[in-house]
């Protein structure tokens, strides 16, 4: 997984009824766009260091 600042990170729910979470990538801490990322969560207006799992996807600014 590779991201750049401004990309959107989408976490898909594990169970039926679990909402999708979205965050904006603020900073990339890994090399060549790899995790971890500093993200701003859109649902609770918090920032955190995040290591995405297999349920995450990245949508680039350009593709939206």
Query: Positive or negative CA dihedral for 25, 27, 28, 32?
Result: positive
Q: Which two tokens stand for residue 11?
A: 């976490």
H helices of the chain, in order, are: none
Residue-level pLDDT at 21: 93
Helix (H/G/I), strand (E/B), else coil: 11: strand
In sequence order, what are the residues at sequence separation of 6 or more whose Cβ sits closer than 8 angstroms to the Cβ of residue 17? Answer: none
CA quadruple 31, 33, 34, 38: dihedral, nearest 10: 100
Helix (H/G/I), strand (E/B), else coil: 16: coil
The per-residue pLDDT for range 3-49, each reduced to its tens digit, is 999 999 999 877 888 889 999 999 999 999 999 999 999 999 999 99
| pTM to 2 decimal places | 0.87
Residue-level pLDDT at 50: 96
| Domain residue limits, the chain | 8-63
């Amino acid at each position: 997984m590779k991201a750049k600042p401004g990309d959107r990170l989408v976490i898909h729910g594990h169970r039926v009824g679990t909402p999708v979470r979205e965050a904006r990538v603020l900073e990339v801490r890994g090399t060549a766009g790899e995790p971890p990322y500093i993200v701003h969560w859109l649902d609770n207006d918090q920032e955190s260091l995040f290591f995405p799992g297999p349920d995450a996807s990245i949508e680039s600014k350009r593709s939206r």
